[in-house]
Every structure is written in C-alpha cells, then in structure tokens.
Amino acid sequence: MRPWPRVGNPPVETCSEPPDTVQVSSVGMMSTPLAAQGMKPRVFVLVHPAWHGAWFWKKVVPLLRQKGHLVFTPTLTGLGERSHLARAEIGLDVHVTDVVNVLKYDDLRDVVLVGHSSSGAVITGVADRSPERIGLLVYLDAFVPEHGQSVFDLVTPERREALETLVKTEGSGWLLPRFAPPPWETIVSKMWGVTDDNDVRWMLERLTPTPVGHFRDPVHRTNPAAERVPRAYIRCRQFPNPRFNQHAEMAQRGALWRYREMAAPHHAAVTMPDNVTDLLLQLAS
Amino acid sequence: MHGRRTFLAATAAAIASLGTAHCAAGRAGPAPGKTKTFVLLHGAWHGGWCWSRVAEPLRAAGHRVYTPTQTGLGERSHLISKNITLDVFVQDLVNVFEWEDLNDVILVGHSFGGTASTGAADRIPRRIRHVVYLDSLILQPGQSAFDAMPADVAEARRKLAQEFSGGVLMPVPDAKAFGITDPADAAWLKAKCTPHPLQTYETRLTLKNPIGNGLPVTYVAVKPDYGPTVAVRQYAKTRKDWNYVELQAAHDAMVDQPQAVIDIISRL
C-alpha cells in the first residue's frame, strides 16, 4: 500500500508537482482588454491574514480585475469558507502549500504575491518554495520573519503569553480564537480601524478562529533564489506596531526593498481599497 | 418555459455548427450593468484550474466568477484523506456562497460536480438563480455515485483504488476518457488532474427536497455521448420542467469548447 500523506505533509508527488514544462493556460487564450490600460496585465495573488478568508479582499479584487489584471485569493485551510476543514495539525506549512499549489495548478508566473499582517509569514514561505514564479513580494502591514522565526517570535513576550492563554482557555489548545483578549467588536473597530457599521457587521459574521500553528510554526527561509526576489513593504501608519515600524525601517534601507506608507489603519484593504489598489499597481508597474 | 427550451436548443445547435469560428465573434460579453455571478464546480479528478478558459473571459466581460476546488483535489490535493466524503464536497461549495455572500448565482456543475451542486441547491436555494448540469452526474436522493453506476463499473473502480492507494483514491484516467484528444490539452489535463477521493463516490447524497429544489435547471449533454452520463440524461429528459440542451463537445467541454460553454451559461 502506498502511504498517503495527511494534512501537514508535503503534497503527493505525482499530483501536486505538475511539471513546469507544461504551459497551457487561459492566459494566452483570453482577449486582452488591458492593452488600453497602459500597463502590462499582472497576476496578483492576495493572501488574507489569520481569522479572515478570501472574503477579506472583497473590495480590492474587483478594482484590480476591472483594470484587466488576473487575481487569485486562496483561502487558507481551516479559515473562512475552509473552516469546516480546521484541525489541530494545520500549521504554517499547510498554509504555505495552499498558496504554492495555486501558483502551480493555475500556471502562474511573474506573480505579485501580497500578504497582509500574519500572512507575511505565509508569503515568505511561499517565496522560499517557488521563487521562480514570483516577480514581487508585497508585505502589506505584515510580519517579515527571518529563517526559523514564527509570527509569535515577532510579538512581545507579554502579548505572546496572552495569546497562548486564549488558545488554552477558549481554543481547545489548538485554535487562536481572536487577535487579542477583548471581544471582536473592539478589535475590529478600535484596533484595526474598521468603523463603518456595514463593514464591521460583515467582518463579525465571517471571522473564524485560526489553528495556532499558523502563528507558532517557524518559517523556512533558506533558498538563495528566494532572497533575490524583489520585495516591497507597505506600512499602514495609523496602526501602532513597533515590529512593523522595524520592518518599515529595514525596507527603507534594504537594496532589494521598496517602501511605501499609507495614512491608514491596519485594515486598509477594507477601509481604503482604492488607495491599496493604486499602491499595488504602482509597485507592480 | 417551453419557448426558452427551444431557444437554448437552437443556440446550442448554432454553436455546434459554427465550431471554432464562433469563438472570435462571441467575445463581446454582456451589456454594462448585466453583471452576473457564476460558480463553476469541477468534476472528479479536476480542480478549479480546469475552468480557466471559461472563467477568465467571463471576468474580462465584467462578471463575477468563482471556481472553488473541492477538498483533496488540484491545489487542495495536499489535504487528501480518507475522510473526504460527498458531505465535505457539499460543504466546500455551500461555504463559498455563504462566506462570499453570493446571491442570484448561476451554478454550473460539471460531471461529478453535479452531485455537490444538487446538494447545494437543496440547502441554499435562495442564493441560486439557475442550476446548470454540464454533462454531469445527478444522484437520486439516498443514492451514491457508485449506486448510480453499473455494479461491475463501480466494483472495478473500487478495485483500482484499492490497488492504487489502499482504497483512498481513484487514479486519474487518461485524458481520452474525458474526450480530450488535442495533445496540448491532454498534456495540461495529465499535469493537473489529481487522484480522486474514493469516499465521495461511496457517500449517499442526503436531500431534504426534490432534485433541483424547484429552481430553474438546464441539463447540457455533450455529443457524442459520454458513457457515464447516458443514464442521467434519460432522467434529465423526463424532467419537463428543466431545459435540455445538446452541445457538440467533449465531456470536458470547458477545455474543448469553452466559448460554447460561455455562450450557454451567460444567456441564463
């Protein structure tokens, strides 16, 4: 009997690693309404943060598609419309594979790979595994872990302790129920800066607990090709976060980095989708 | 309803006779303000990737298109386990509607995707405008996909899955089995199709309402006939409240005749 991998193991070789030589996709077949836009059509893969799902990008996706770009918004396993698949074994490696496989199965090349907040760790892991498919990494107010670092390694010890306590008391030992001890209403409006009533309601109906491996597992970052991929950092200045400030300083100095900032709350993709779209297009062009 | 049935049949005939020349002319898309929402569900062994030739032109024309991949397949193949049942497939699909808050949806289920589509129509009819069975399987209430097949075919598939993976997965058939003979297309399918979770063929479909749940339904049958859906077509033809359309295409019509598929579903 052949052993079949469970969640958390590498994909089945025969089916999850389609050969790179096959280049048949829709991209060459479709009409190109984008020629008139003055910008080469790009492929955007937008990775939502913990607790969210593809729905997080609802306002940005149509703006990018209207301009003729291809947009993919995978939902990480165990979250959003994939929350029926949540289980203790799901961690960062599954989430990295969730995205790596989208690049492979949809034959995506020269991708603008965007990660918001905790998914900075996800896109870092994706770059390590599929650097040849990525044209630009964009960290949107996101964590930038070094090799061996987890998201939890990048928050203060006090905060980490508070979150680990939440996992124990409200998450059955494997789910992080939310971003911080206060209720979601407070987090969404006071910490993330989403104040429109409809937006708040929309989010409260959709936020789901996140398997804690997403935060605890260290990122793998050893591929030299991945370290050569151009990258950009977008800092949302209205969200106080010393770690993100450090990342912003690093991006302003780094040769491989470009840096932009917005006078925006952490959830700029929800509150200022036009500005986020413009910035992404600017960085991608 | 009868008038619509005739119209669709005529459209399909026209598409069939025009062949590839039709493709270039059919790109105009909808008038502004006629944005529609499509959910395209793949069949066995396939993933959301198989719809790219249908989804991208529809999006370029301004429609909203979702192509979820069922758990354990395609870019979700790293999640394979023996616990993936038809119930998981139905939940995969229903959740997309609920999290994305989709309404007035044209739901297209291809091949085995017709089974989860029937389940979604049963559970969330208020979100669906039209169900399209694209040369798909339709299970009767309480029936599994294996129940719906000749017993010897089901037994052969179980045996293959046992040999291939200890009974967890059914191996991928040759692209010819999907009617695809073009070498580049066949290579694409070969590269992207993944083994299919066997349990989804063993699970009996639970329905609380009659098949289709009173929604408008169109069955699209490819010509020449695709063996595994022949019996289902007989059922579809008996449903006088449904549209029945024939299309000159391979079973994988979304690969072989994407523009014809676009033309049919974008007129609904």
Q: Report the complex ipTM.
A: 0.87
pLDDT at A14 over 90: no
- Kindly report the nearest CA distance between residue B148 and chain A, in angstroms: 27
B130-142 pLDDT tens trace: 999 999 999 999 9
- Mean pLDDT in residue range A65-74: 96
Instruction: Output the pLDDT for position A34.
Output: 46
pLDDT at position B226 is 83
Share of chain A above pLDDT 90, in %: 86
Using the predicted structure, report yes or no on whether residue B27 has a pLDDT greater than 60.
Answer: no
Given a contact cutoff of 8 angstroms between Cβ atoms, the answer to whether A166 and A181 are in contact is yes
| CB proximity list for A17: less than 8 A, separation 6 or greater | A11, A104
Q: What is the mean pLDDT of residues A130-150?
A: 98
In this structure, of A20-24, B62-66, B210-214, the range with the lowest mean pLDDT score is A20-24
**Can you give the C-alpha Rg of chain A in angstroms?**
18
Q: Tell me, what's the pLDDT at B228?
A: 82
B57 touches chain A (CB under 8 A): yes
pLDDT, tens only, B165-202:
999 999 999 999 999 999 999 999 999 999 999 999 99
Model confidence at B247, in pLDDT bands (50, 70, 90)?
Answer: very high
CB B257 within 8 A of CB B265: no
Can you tell me the distance from the alpha carbon of B5 to that of A58, in angstroms, rounded to the nearest whole number? 36
C-beta atoms surrounding A96 within 10 Å: 26
CA distance A276 to A284: 12
Q: What is the pTM of this model?
A: 0.88
Average pLDDT over residues A45-52: 98
* Mean pLDDT, rounded, for A273-282: 98
Average pLDDT, chain A: 89
Calculate what percentage of chain B has a pLDDT beyond 70: 88
Residue B109's identity, in one-letter code, is: G
Q: Which residues contact B162 (CB under 8 A, 6 or more apart)?
A: none
Looking at residue B201, its pLDDT comes to 98
Can you give the pLDDT at residue B38? Answer: 98
Query: Chain B contacts of A65, Cβ < 8 Å?
Result: 59
Q: Rounded mean pLDDT of A29-44?
A: 63
Counting one residue from A and one from B, how many pairs have CB atoms under 8 Å apart?
128
Token pair for A117: 């907040």
What's the pLDDT score for residue B230? 84
Dmax (CA) for chain A in angstroms is: 58
Asked if B182 has any chain A CB less than 8 Å from its own CB, the reply is no
Contact criterion met (CB < 8 Å) for A206 and B53: no
**Model confidence at A164, in pLDDT bands (50, 70, 90)?**
very high
Share of residues in chain B with pLDDT > 90 (%): 82
HEC string of chain B equals: CHHHHHHHHHHHHHHHHHCCHHHHHHHHCCCCCCCCEEEEECCCCCCHHHHHHHHHHHHHCCCEEECCCCCCCHHHHHHCCCCCCHHHHHHHHHHHHHHCCCCCEEEEEECCHHHHHHHHHHHCHHHEEEEEEECCCCCCCCCCCCCCCCHHHHHHHHHHHHHHHCCCEECCCCHHHHCCCCHHHHHHHHHHCCCEECHHHHCCCCCCCCCCCCCCEEEEEEECCCHHHHHHHHHHHHCCCCEEEEEECCCCHHHHCHHHHHHHHCCC
B181 touches A at CB < 8 Å: no
For residue B229, the model assigns a pLDDT of 82
In sequence order, the β-bridge partners of residue B170 are: B196
User: How confident is the model over A73-131, as pLDDT tens digits?
Assistant: 999 999 999 999 999 999 999 999 999 999 999 999 999 999 999 999 999 999 999 99
CA Rg value for chain B: 17
Q: What is the pLDDT at residue A25?
A: 37
- Top-confidence residue, B231 or B236: B236
**Nearest partner of B39 among B137, B117, B112, judged by Cα:** B117
Residues of A in contact with B55 (CB under 8 A): 26
CB contact under 8 A, A26 and B56: yes
